[in-house]
Structure formats: structure tokens, C-alpha cells
Structure 1
Amino acid sequence: MTRSVETTSSEDSELSLPAPKERRRLREAADLTHDEVAAAVGVTAATIRSWESGRTAPRGRKREAYTRFLADLAARPEPAGSSGTGEAEADAEAGSGARAGAAKAPQADPPTDPPAEPPGTPGPPGTAEHPAPVPVPTPVPVALVFADAVEGPADAFDALYVHAARDLARQAYLLTGRRALALEAVEKAFTQAWGRWPEVTADPDPVGWVRTIVYEYALSPWHRFRRAHRHPDQPPAEPADRILLDALLSLPAVHRRTVLLYDGVGLDLPDTAAETEATTPTAGNRLVHAHADLADRIPELADVPPEKQSALLRDLLTALQPAVELDPRPAAAVRGGGERRTRMWTRATLSLTAMIAVSTAYTLMTAPTRYEPPLAPGESVSGVPPLSGPQQLTERSRQLHDKLLADPEAGPARIAPRIE
């Protein structure tokens, strides 16, 4: 009974989004390009083309933002001159009143005039028949323009933290099964976001910017060597939640991340592939294999057709209740901790730079200014008698020595022999 109610609610949400041809007609009636709509919703232009062609459908917050954006376009009055031009073109192309009536029949709401062309036909934006571009409203939940809604960067960071920190902590817990690691990943990601805040504010999806860092840190293989994160936390109390979490943690890390982004967060397949740095077919294959592995371990998924497994898995992930509290620290504490860490590293860098400068100056002052060749090492010489000092004088040598010292006469006669 519960499953049927959930399916009905999802079908009702599908009805709230216009058909693909109506999405394209609303965009062309407002004279907007795919890039302008993508910038307003926070996705790529290729995703908007895929949504308008019906190949894929928006999910989660992107779906809500896209629905709100199209509702704003539908509520606007048609620009002046577009109605007459559209009727003329429709009559010229139709050639009969029956065809013109068929073209006007889908317009159930009379506030706007009939479209210039049949729905689904590409129009020439930017021509003289079309008026000037209309400013595009930016949905706040997707663009998250916190810098315009608050006074300074600190308030903008706090608003982003309050908006996304708890959800990201829950997602990191589903990826790892560890409370401490999940909270640490969220804090590390927001600390890095505060250090690179200008880049975050310029990003069309700040939550996605932070989410990427949370997932990368949480799934880092180096955590397995940490004693504090070696074992998972206490499993959930409900048996169904325990089975779901165990099955999710048994998947490979890349499959786990793809399933959480697509089924848990609600991203469409191109955005999921972009965030996991894979192609769209690769992301689709990962989802197929992951759903098959989960269906083997979760009885509820085994009884559901493959096309409905994604919706049921999303409901199961949303209803999962962890056995631990996932309350991140206050935004001011995270921001202050990041600033203190930055100041500490700055001081350490300055101190190291000063030590290097002092040691360099001391080396320059004490280094020799000329080349001094090193002393050659001693070598052993063989065949030379050892030095033993002067030899002992003989009697004759001693007499000669005394004579030389006592005789004051100089010259050769000094040592000339005398006849006595």
C-alpha cells in the first residue's frame, strides 16, 4: 500500500512539469537560448536540450527549479507583436482553418496567444520578428546567490552551510557508514570552500562544488589506515535500514557514488556522469550494475521492475534513519577553524622563510672570499731511514768544532793547518 502511494505521488510530480515540446515552446516564446536557460537553472546547455527532446527528465532540486522557471515563463504575457506575427505565420503555413484550429487546440490557458509555430518546430531566435530578450529569473534554491541576499561573505558562507551541511553529512554517512568521517569530510569541504570563496560564489551550483570535495574526501582510500576510521559505526536500528546500508557499502566506491548522486540526490544522468568524471554511457552502465547488485541483497528491490527500482531506491535512501546523530558543528566554528588554520600555516611559512633568510645571510658572511686549495693527504714513503736526530760527534769533530768557535780569525786561514 505504501509503495502504491509513493508511486502516485511521483506521478503527480511528473504531471507538474510540462511536456518536452511545451518546454521548448515556452523557451522560444520568451526568446531565450539554451545557454540562458541553463545558466538560470544551474545545468549545462546540453542538459536543457536533452530535457526538451525528452531523452532525459530532470530530477530532485533541478526538477523543482526547472518547473518553477517554466511556470514563470508561462505566467508572462506574450511580447507585443509576437501574436500578430505568429498568427500570420501559422495561417501561411497551415493553409486552412482546420489546420490553424488544430495548432491552437493544445492551448488550454487563454492568457497567452497561440505560438508562432507548431510545438516542437525550431524557431529562428534573434531575428527581427522577435522582441528584445527578456531578463531570466534566477531560481534561488538552485543558483544559491547568497552574496546578493546577505551583507557580506561571512553571512553568505553561513547561509550556504546551513542550507547544505546536514544533507551532505547524511550523504557522506551513506557513502562510508562512519559518522566521524562524514562530519570530518563536510568540515574539510566547507573549510576549503571558505578559503576559495570567490570561486565558490562564481560557480552556478555552490552545493555541487562542496559536494564534490565531500565525496572525494570521504571515499579516499587512505582512511583505511587510520585507526579511528577502520571500523564502521553502530548499524541502524531498523532491519530494513541495516540491510540497505550494508548493501550500499558493499558496492565499489565509484558505483556507490553514482547511485547516491542519481538515486539519492536526484541528479540526472548527464550531471551524474559529469560529477563522477565519466561519460554518460559509462554512468548508465554503472547504475545498471549497481541496481542489479542491490536487488540481489535487498528483497524490496527484487520485487520491483527495473524501470521502477530507481524511484523505490530513492525513497528507501530518504527514509533511512542512521543510528548516530549527524549534526555538523556551527558555521561560525567551521569558518573560524579554517581561518585559524590559515593563520597558523601563514605564520609557519613566514617563520620558515625568516629562518632560511637568516641562515643564508650567515653563510654569506662566513663563507671564504678566495679559493683555498685543500691540503694534500699524506702518503707513506718506503726506503727512507727514519729521522733519528744529529749523529754523535767524534773526538776529531769535537776539536774542530771548538776551534771554530774559539778562533776569532776569519777567512780561509781560520781552518788552515799550523805547524807547531
Structure 2
Amino acid sequence: MTRSVDTASSADPELSLPAPKERRRLREAAELTHDEVAAAVGVTAATVRSWESGRTAPRGRKREAYTQFLARLADPAEAAAPTGAPGEAKPARAAEDPAADPPSSSHAPAEPAAATAEATAATAGTGGAATGPAAADGTATGSVDATGGPAEQPPALPVQGPAEAFDALYTRAARDLARQAYLLTGRGALALEAVEKAFTQAWDRWPEVATDPDPVGWVRAIAYDYALSPWHRFRRAHRHPDKPPAEPSDRILLDALLSLPPVHRRTVLLYDGVGLDLPDTAAETEATTPTAGNRLVHAHADLTELIPELAEVPPEKQSALLRDLFTALQPAVDLHPRPASAVRGGGERRTRLWTRATLSLTAMIAVSTAYTLMTAPTHYEPPLAPGASVSGVPPLAGPQQLTERSRQLHDKLRADPEAGPARIAPGIE
């Protein structure tokens, strides 16, 4: 692989910053981890991974520091000098992923091992380049023609605007991505949902996706992450796999693929199904190239034990046979995505609904705050003391209640004039 860093022009970060693949190759050639590069540049390890995958690009002083750091790694004299600098070459060590499986010694396929050795030679600066077959979704990554030069790409069709560009990308990749998600999950509805979610997010962030070097890879990463999310097991609709394929060979292939761990399943699908080379597969699975090679070796070994057709071919032809099996598999469910306009319109409607909900919630909070300010007391009002029982009070005293006989006598005396006040009033006879 040709070095793309010009140390003489390291003062100009815009001209000397290498491509994402070259950044990763320089780091692996120096046997540095993401944490060590992040400590040397002054950023986090996640930021370095994002720079190497091409999702983001450094800016300002970080770009200049990162460019100078890569220039030191690309300079053989500085890289070999025992100065103890971060760019100093280190002895070979194991893959930095602690979860990576050790390479198998008994029944490991030779083709992934050869790919691992080839990628290691490329990272060591020997001029070798690990290239994969043509991608199933139409994106050939690292392909070369018979003369050794880069393969000619078909001319891109002119598009009129963002909507037309999105529709073209959706028409080109949605069907293949739905099939790949089905191979990852075994659920047709979940596969279509993952692809639709990925393209909806792509439309929401279309300026970023349109300028991405690999827009199909951008969408593919989102769809794979959504499809392999462990939270789907708690959903009633996706709790059980769909109806298995009709052909026995397809059922055996799908069952064998679903029996692999998710990270091994994703590595096999990217390398053998999509056709990415080993460094690109490692970058998309967020692993080092040796770790991706180990995962591929163990995944092929497990598939060889479960698929009779795979055990009958030599190890160097297993990758090609797996690609043919993936292509020939016929799902028992419908994997036709919805039209691009429906996906794009659904994302726009969802955005409008969220915007309206946010504005409504903000208005309710403002009204509640205003009502509270208007009705809240402006001065302190002491609370009323609670009642207390008083003892020692004599019972109610006074005349006793009249009996029936006493009431009759009382009424008679009040009704008799001789006994009332009228007896002293003068009368005229």
C-alpha cells in the first residue's frame, strides 16, 4: 500500500491528512492502540475510532496534532528511532480486544488465515493489500482489475436534489440490506424494520450521509446495530423466529448462521456476504484487524461443523462457497421494502410530530409556570393551631327539661288571662 503522508507538507493539515484507511494502517503498523493514539493527540479513544472509520474528521488544532502524529508514524527514520515517542514501533502483541478468541489450530480454515496474514503484511508496510470480492450491495471495496490498477467504476447518474439522491441510494441498497439483516436475525419483519429505521435516520442526517465516502456503509452500520440489538427479545412481535426456508439446505445454513455469536455472525456476513476486505470488516465491527481475522477463523470452523457442503470443499474455497450459499438462500418471508417516498415521508412526519409535541410540552410548562406565579401567596400566613381538648369544665347547668305535665300546666297558665299580664291591664266593661 502506498503511503499517502507527505512529511514535507506536514505543516499544512488540509493537504497532509491521510485517508481513513491509511490512518488505521499507520497505527497498526506501529502496534499502537486507540488509547495510546488518543493520549498522544489529546482526545478520547472513541474519537480516534471515528476518525479511522471516516465517520468524522479532525478539525483545528486536533487536526494539526493528528496530522503531525501520523507523519511521525509514516517516517521510517522516526518510527525506528528508539526515542520512546508515541510513534515508536513496538513488538508484536496480541489483539487488543480481550473478548477475541484464540486462533484454532486443528480445524481453522486456511482462507481467513491467509487473509489475516495478508492484512498483517499490508499493515507492516510490505506493499501487500488485502482486497475482498465485489460487494453484494453493489459497493466494491478495494477491488482491482486484471492489470493491478483500480477497477473502473460505472459513471454516476446525475441527481437533481436531496430527495432524488436519497431515493437512488434507497433503490440501490435497501433490498440487499433487508436480506443481510434477515441473515443476521432470521426475522423478516425485524429486518425490514431495521432497514427502514436506518434509512429514516439517514434522511434526517442527509447532509452528513451525502458527504460520507461510503453512504451504503453508513446505512448498513445503523441497520446492523438495530437488527442485533438485544432488546428485541422482549418484544412480543420479535420474540420467535419466522417460518424457516423451504429448502433443507437453506434451513441448515440459516440455523448454522444464527447459532454463531452476534459479533462472529456480523463478521462472516461482512467478509463473505458483503465482500468487504479484512481491514474494512474490522473497522465496521470496531475491532483490530487481527481480532477480526480470529473471529473469522473461528466462525468458519463452527460453520464447517454444521454445514455439510462447507466441510466438503478445501479451506481456501470456503469463503466463495459461503458467498454463493448466502446469495442462493430463499427466505420464506417477503423482504420487499416499502417505497423510498414512503420511508422519506414517514421520517418527515415523525419529525413534525416530535416538533409539535415538543412545542406543546413547552407551552404547557410555560402556562403552568405563569399560573403558579399568579396564584402563589405573596406573604407569609401562619397556619391555624390545631384544636386541643380542655378538661375540668363543668357540665351544662340550668333549668331541667319540662315534663309533659309541666308543659301542659305552662301552656294553661300562659293562655289564661287571669293568670297572665292581662289581669293588671284596665278593661272597659
Q: TM-score by structure 1 length?
A: 0.62
Match of 2:179 among 163, 170, 185: 170
Distance in 1 (CA, whole Å) between partners of 2:216 and 2:18 is 16
Kept in 1, the 8 Å contact 2:186–2:241? The answer is yes
Identify the residue that residue 101 of structure 2 maps to in structure 1: none
Give the letter aligned to residue 166 of structure 1.
R
Alpha-carbon offset, residue 374 of structure 1: 2.5
SS of match in other structure, 1:59: coil
Task: Output the amino acid matched with 1:57.
Answer: T
Q: Contact 2:282/2:289 (CA < 8 Å) preserved in 1?
A: yes
Does structure 2 conserve the Cα–Cα contact (< 8 Å) formed by 1:173 and 1:182? yes
* 1:375 corresponds to: 384
Residue number among 326, 329, 332 corresponding to 1:320 in the alignment: 329
Change in CA separation of 1:386 and 1:345 when aligned onto 2, cut-off 3 Å: same
Deviations 1:146-167 (A, max 9, x none): 8xx3111111110110111000
Rg (Cα) greater in structure: 1
Contact 2:131 2:278 in 1 (8 A): no
Deviations 1:21-58 (A, max 9, x none): xx759x99xxxx9x99985xx85554695597215224
**Match 1:221 to one of 226, 230, 249:** 230
Q: 1:57 aligns with which of 116, 121, 131?
A: 131
1:295 is the counterpart of 2:304: yes
Answer whether contact 1:60 1:265 (CA < 8 A) is retained: yes
Q: CA deviation at 1:306?
A: 2.6
Match of 1:277? 286
Q: Name the amino acid aligned to 2:250.
A: D
Greater displacement, 288-297 / 54-63: 54-63
* Secondary structure of residue in 2 paired with 1:67: coil
Shift of 1:357: 0.7
Work out the CA distance in 2 between the residues paired with 1:377 and 1:202: 73
Distance 1:65 1:285 in 2: 21
CA RMSD of aligned residues (A): 3.4
Q: Is the 8 A contact 1:24 1:52 kept in 2?
A: no
Q: How does 1:250-261 map to 2 (within 5 A)?
A: 250-261=259-270
Partner Cα distance (2:154, 2:23) in 1: 19
Say whether the 8 Å CA contact 2:144–2:150 is kept in structure 1: no
The answer to whether the Cα contact below 8 Å between 2:134 and 2:143 also exists between their aligned partners in 1 is no
CA shift for structure 1 position 376:
3.5
Q: Is the 8 A contact 2:142 2:277 kept in 1?
A: no
Displacement of 1:229 after TM fit? 1.5
One-letter amino acid of the counterpart of residue 183, structure 1: L
1:248 aligns with 2:248: no
Q: Which of residues 119, 133, 144 is equivalent to 1:67?
A: 144
TM-score by length of 2: 0.61
* Alpha carbons of structure 1 residues 390 and 228: separation in structure 2 relative to 1, 3 Å: same
Shift of 1:271: 1.3
Q: 1:264 aligns with which of 255, 265, 273?
A: 273
Q: Looking at both structures, which has the greater relative contact order when contacts are Cα pairs under 8 Å and sequence separation is at least 6?
A: 2
Counterparts in 2 of 1:68-83, with a 5 A limit? none
Among candidates 202, 212, 217, match of residue 208 of structure 1: 217
2:392 corresponds in structure 1 to 385
Following superposition of structure 1 onto structure 2, how do residues 38-57 of structure 1 map, counting pairs within 5 Å? 43-46=21-24, 50=123, 53-54=127-128, 56-57=130-131
Q: Which amino acid in structure 2 is aligned with residue 54 of structure 1?
A: G
C-alpha separation in 2, matches of 1:63 and 1:153: 24
Unaligned runs of 5+ in 2: 27-121, 400-429
- Write out per-residue CA displacement over residues 107-144 of structure 1, whole angstroms, 9 at most, x where no aligned residue: xxxxxxxxxxxxxxxxxxxxxxxxxxxxxx9x568xxx
C-alpha separation in 1, matches of 2:343 and 2:292? 34
Using the TM superposition, give the Cα deviation of residue 322 of structure 1 relative to its aligned residue in structure 2, in angstroms. Answer: 1.6
Structure 2: distance between partners of 1:352 and 1:176: 38
Preserved CA contact (<8 Å) 2:131 2:142: no
What code does the residue aligned with 1:179 have? Answer: G
Q: Which amino acid aligns with 2:130?
A: T
Moved more, 209-218 or 303-312: 303-312
In the alignment, structure 1 segments of 5+ residues that lack a partner are 1-22, 75-136, 393-420
In the alignment, the residues of structure 2 paired with residue 362 and residue 317 of structure 1 have an alpha-carbon distance, to the nearest angstrom, of: 64
Q: Distance in 2 between matches of 1:296 and 1:187?
A: 35
1:295-320 alpha-carbon deviations (Å, 9 max, x no partner): 01001111223333222212211221
Distance 1:66 1:287, change over 3 A: closer
Cα deviations by residue, 1:303-356 (Å, 9 ceiling, x for unpaired): 223333222212211221222221100000000011111111111111111111
- State the secondary structure of the residue aligned to 1:60: coil
